[in-house]
Amino acid sequence: MLSRAFTKSKRSPKNGDNITRSESILHEYEDCIVGFMDDVPLVVCGAIRGYNGARSEPTLREVLRASVGVMGESCLGITEKVVFLGGKVCALKRFRSVRLGKGEFGRRLQRVAQISRRCEHLVPVLAYLYSKRIKFVLCDYYPMGSLHDLLSGGRDCGHTALNWSQRLKILFTAAQAILFIHSLSPPKERKMQMNVHGNIKSANIMINTDFTACLSDYGFAQLARHPDISDTGQCTPPSPATATETVYSDEMNQKGDIYNFGVVMLDVIGGDKGMGDYRKCVLGKKEEIVEGRMDFFDFSADGKERSQAMQVLAMALECTNEVAEERPPIEQIVKTISNVFECVI
C-alpha cells in the first residue's frame, strides 16, 4: 500500500498476484519507512469531523498505520481505505505522478477543496500531502462504494443490485454535480480549468445509503501526470487494471465530460457490453429494444419503466455522439432525467 512509495519490493509481482497482498508489506516496512524521515503533517483543507488524533491534523505516520487495503486502481493512481485510531474512516487517493510543483499543487488543491464544499453532490477533499516521494489526497469515505462497485457486484453475483428508481436517482444527482461544475464562474483561474471535471466514470461516482450520488476526483486530472505517454513520447499499453478506462474520453473540456457521463448512463441502463461498438450496436437494434424483442436492459423493465428507460437511453446516445459539438449541454441532460425521475417518485 503506501509503503510501496518508500520501499522497493523484494520480488517483482507475478501474474495473478492480488494487489491487496500489500497489506502484509505495510507492517513489514513501517518501522524503516518512518525511521529515515521525520513525521510529516498533512495539509488540512477543512475540518475533518470524527478525527481524534494527537494533533489537529493527521500525519504521514498515522496514515501509514491506518492504511488497511487497496480499494481501486486507475491510470492516475491508487485508492486506499484508511481507518484512524478513534474510528474515522477516509479514502486516500495516491497519485502515480504529478505534473506540478509543491506550491502550485497546493494552491490548486485548496481551491478544489473550497469548491467541493459548496456542492452536496461532490466528494469533500479533507487534506493532502506533497513530499518528494509521495503525493496523495485524503477524502471522505463512502461505505456503499462506487457506482461501478454496485453494478459489477450485482452482475458478478448473477443478480441486479439496483432497481430502476435507484438507478435514476443516482444519475439525477450525479448530473446535478456536473451541472454545478459546468456552471462555475470564472471558468478558468490562472492555468486551471475550473468548470470541467476531467475524469467522470462510474468508479468516481460514490453512492450514499439513500442512493444519492457524490462525484469524486473533481480537478484531480489537472494535478496528475497522465501515464499513457512516456517521456520519450511513446504510447504505453494500459495495464489490466486500467484497460476498462479506454472507453472514456480524455478530453479536458465540458464536451468530454458529457461524453463520459453518456458512457456512465449506458452502463447504468444496459450494462458493459463492449463499449467500443456499443453505441453503433444500440442504434442498429433500437427498434428491437423498443419493441422488447431484444434483451438489453440491466434491470427488470416493463411498461412505463421501459418507456422511461428508452428516454434516458436516447439521451445517453446523444451524449456519446462522436461529433463533440452535437452533444447536449448538461442543462438539457438534467432536465430530461428530472422529467423521468418525477414520474417515478
7 has a pLDDT exceeding 70: no
Asked, for residue 298, whether it belongs to a domain, the answer is: yes
- Sign of the CA dihedral with 319 first, then 325, 328, and 331 last: positive
- Co-location of 182 and 313 in the same domain: yes
Q: What are the backbone angles phi and psi of residue 111, rounded to the nearest 5°?
A: -70, -40
- Co-location of 339 and 279 in the same domain: yes
- Co-location of 214 and 312 in the same domain: yes
| 3-class SS of residue 21 | helix
Asked, for residue 94, whether it belongs to a domain, the answer is: yes
| 3-class SS of residue 207 | strand
- Co-location of 215 and 83 in the same domain: no
Under 8 Å between Cβ of 319 and 161: no
pTM of the model: 0.83
pLDDT interval class at 160 (50, 70, 90) = low
When pLDDT is averaged across residues 125-139 and rounded to a whole number, the result is 93
What is residue 94's predicted lDDT score, i.e. its pLDDT? Answer: 94
What is residue 157's predicted lDDT score, i.e. its pLDDT? Answer: 59
* Full domain range(s) for residue 255: 147-344
pLDDT interval class at 132 (50, 70, 90) = confident
Asked, for residue 110, whether it belongs to a domain, the answer is: yes
What CATH number is associated with residue 113?
A: 3.30.200.20
| 3-class SS of residue 93 | strand
Total domain count, the chain: 2
**How far is the first Cα of the chain from the last one, in angstroms, to the nearest whole number?**
43
Provide, rounded to the nearest whole percent, the portion of the chain with pLDDT above 70: 72
pLDDT interval class at 301 (50, 70, 90) = confident
When pLDDT is averaged across residues 246-259 and rounded to a whole number, the result is 88
Domain boundary among 114, 140, 166: 140
What CATH number is associated with residue 263?
A: 1.10.510.10
> Between residues 280 and 310, which one has the greater pLDDT?
310
What is residue 22's predicted lDDT score, i.e. its pLDDT? Answer: 43
Asked, for residue 245, whether it belongs to a domain, the answer is: yes
> Between residues 273 and 250, which one has the greater pLDDT?
250
- Co-location of 31 and 91 in the same domain: yes
Mean pLDDT of the chain: 80
pLDDT interval class at 213 (50, 70, 90) = very high
What is residue 115's predicted lDDT score, i.e. its pLDDT? Answer: 95
Asked, for residue 1, whether it belongs to a domain, the answer is: no
What is residue 5's predicted lDDT score, i.e. its pLDDT? Answer: 47
Asked, for residue 3, whether it belongs to a domain, the answer is: no
By C-alpha distance, which of 255, 260, 191 is closest to 219?
Answer: 191
31 has a pLDDT exceeding 90: no
Give dist(CA 264, CA 249) in Å, integer.
12
pLDDT interval class at 326 (50, 70, 90) = very high
Which letter, b or e, does each residue of 201-217 get, where b requires 16 or more Cβ atoms within 10 Å of its Cβ? bbbbbbbbeebbbbbbb
> Between residues 306 and 179, which one has the greater pLDDT?
179
208 has a pLDDT exceeding 80: yes
Using CA atoms, how far residue 296 sits from 182, 259, 306, 308, 317, in Å, is 31, 21, 10, 14, 14
pLDDT interval class at 25 (50, 70, 90) = very low
Give dist(CA 39, CA 60) in Å, integer.
6
What would the pLDDT profile of 33-67 be if each residue is shown by its tens digit? 444 457 889 999 877 777 766 567 889 999 999 98
- Co-location of 84 and 188 in the same domain: no
Asked, for residue 257, whether it belongs to a domain, the answer is: yes
19 has a pLDDT exceeding 60: no
276 has a pLDDT exceeding 60: no
